[in-house]
Amino acid sequence: MYSLRNATRAVHRRTARAIRRTPAAHRLTSAPTRAVAQVAAATALAVVGVGTVGGAQLAAASSTTTAVASSTTMSVLATSARTTTSPSSAITAAAVSPSAASQLVLLVAADGPSASTQSVSSVSGCGLTWSLVRRANGTQGTSEVWSAAAPTALTSCAPSAKLAQTGYLGAASLYAVSGGTVTASAGTSARSGAAATTVNAPAGALVLAVGNDWNAAAQRTALANEALTAQYLASVGDTYWFQRTTPSTTGSLVVGTSAPASSSWSYAAVALTPSTTSTATPTATATPTVTATPTATATPTATATATPTPTATASPSPTATATPTPTATATPTASPSPTATSTPVSTSTAMPGAANTGVPAGTVLTPSGSIHATTAGQVISNLDITGGVTVDAPNVVIQNSRIHGSGSGDGVRVLSGSVTVQDSEIYGFENAIGYDHWTGLRLNIHGDTGDGVKLGSSTTLQDSWIHDLTPAAGAHSDGGQMQSGVTNLVVRHNTIDMTSTNGANSALFLAPDLGPSTAGPVLVENNYLAGGGFTLYVVDGANGTYYVGNITVRNNVFGDSGYGPDNVNVPVTWYGNTLVNGTVVNP
């Protein structure tokens, strides 16, 4: 449930659907024909509207290494930009030779096929290990940011980005930044509108961005106080461009273009901030003592004003054939909290339901009253618990247990520390689990009077089944609700079916109404989501006061809903989402 102060906003969101962007007409050229056209058009590629970086103009297939005045702790040692001259299996950057240790950032934009997804499968070169920072490929082609740390000076460093779909054009821009650290990133794709995304960046950060337009070869116009460093137009109908800016204030920064506004695009950005330590090897110091996590305060809940109740319609039972087989994907990361652990990877192929969630068949349960877990690493197993479990210690495990209440409170609540709840059934509370620092695996959650789960920071809900809630009078239940600014939230491979829940608001409600704004990340992938007014809300908090960045929604299947599958009004990386019948769902 959400608080009264948000009721008016929520009513509006349930009754007024945001206008959908109409997908731009796809080019009729098939992938093989397009590759042939690229060969003929290769010589037509040109650098246009080129900006300057450190006083050096960027040109196609050329490299520039120039010292740039910056802060006392972070400076651009070298930069380059180039485009391929013929269809290729890889895009190689023009070489740079940074004179000192540096953080290397490779921006890549590439063309791709019309009927499948393009991406960079790997980056190699310079004797370094390269990692993906951000990918935006919700439309044809891809825009990506990769990085590597160079511990010493380099000579003629020219990394190569290998394309998953070979035989296409592209462009790359390479930066070597001394004293800088990648601290935030964002990516967005859309079928229309001017290209832009929102990245959380402090004052003085260096923000770099890359975009690709599969539908039009058209010069971009950067937003105010932002600079185009290079852009390449192809006669086959592509644009690849690069930008940079330096924010003057701290907070969410919209980086992008103001024109054109009618093409299909993907756009990725990264923020680098001065390193907090010097380049010299630091002297070893004692490990600082971690202070206790403060006691979480309850999220205010109150009866909201009445809102239109969508007409219940039949929802197909989720089956493995109705939804995509989940694949292991990299989970975005952010600065971890002291109790954060690695995100588990789903190994199940069948969608969660009665057969593969809850207490395993044959488990003998011992009756128990409510529990207050205060011992680090405590294991609570094979219990039939009447009342909730309060967690006040790190790394607590609850497994193979049934937890049930009488309609109020939380089934599992983390006051401090962290908990993993697995292979268990939770019902009869206001909320099954809340709020931060928890992992739920193979859970059967039902019969709660408020929301299924409260989604906080350092939280993972995976391989679980949320269904058949029993909302209290006036409640507007969500299967999962994020109502604060969060970091490190993952919702992966769950069945969240609210079609049988009277007055359901949504399967997932992601709105940071209680603040603060954060850089995320939030990942929602490989779920079956159904029911509610709009099944999935991804919106700003407190009417535009708060935002969560780096939200990715991918490869989900949507069932029945009252008004539509989604209501989205913030930048989201979105791809691979469909209705049960295979119809593509766009934000």
Per-residue pLDDT tens digits for 46-102:
333 332 222 222 333 333 333 343 445 799 999 999 998 889 999 999 999 999 999
Q: What is the pLDDT of residue 24?
A: 29
Instruction: Give the three-class secondary structure for 115.
Output: coil
Q: Which of 184, 97, 100, 96 is nearest to 145 (CA)?
A: 184
Task: Give the confidence band of 419 by pLDDT, cuts at 50, 70, 90.
Answer: very high
Q: Which of 108, 107, 265, 111 is nearest to 194 (CA)?
A: 265
pLDDT: which is higher, 307 or 504:
504
Instruction: Give the three-class secondary structure for 41.
Output: helix
Q: Is the dihedral of CA 113, 320, 558, 408 positive or negative?
A: negative
Q: Does 471 have pLDDT greater than 50?
A: yes
Take residue 242 and report the two structure tokens written for it. Answer: 């690069």
Q: What is the pLDDT of residue 84?
A: 87
pLDDT: which is higher, 51 or 523:
523
User: What is the reported pTM?
Assistant: 0.47
As a whole number of angstroms, the distance between CA 49 and CA 498 comes to 51
H or E, element range at 212: strand 206-213
As a whole number of angstroms, the distance between CA 418 and CA 420 comes to 7
For 219-254, the pLDDT digits (tens) are 999 999 899 999 989 767 899 999 999 888 888 889
- In the chain the domains, ranked by start, together with CATH numbers, are 36-274 (no CATH), 344-579 (2.160.20)
Residue with tokens 């116009």: 221
Q: What is the DSSP string of 195-206?
A: -EEEEEE-TT-E
Q: How many helical (H) and strand (E) elements, i.e. helices and strands, does the chain have? A: 2, 46
Dihedral over alpha carbons 345, 347, 350, 352 (to 10 degrees): -50
Q: What percentage of the chain's residues is helix, strand, coil (to nearest 5)?
A: 5, 40, 55
Q: What Rg value do the Cα atoms of the chain yield, rounded?
A: 25
Residue with tokens 């290079």: 230
For 318-344, the pLDDT digits (tens) are 433 333 444 333 333 333 333 333 456
Q: Which of 135, 132, 476 is nearest to 308 (CA)?
A: 476
The answer to whether 462 touches 498, Cβ cutoff 8 Å, is no
Query: Is residue 66 exposed (0-12), middle (13-18) or buried (19+ Cβ within 10 Å)?
Result: middle
Instruction: Give the three-class secondary structure for 138.
Output: coil
Q: Which of 478, 483, 517 is nearest to 501 (CA)?
A: 478
Q: DSSP character for 500?
A: T
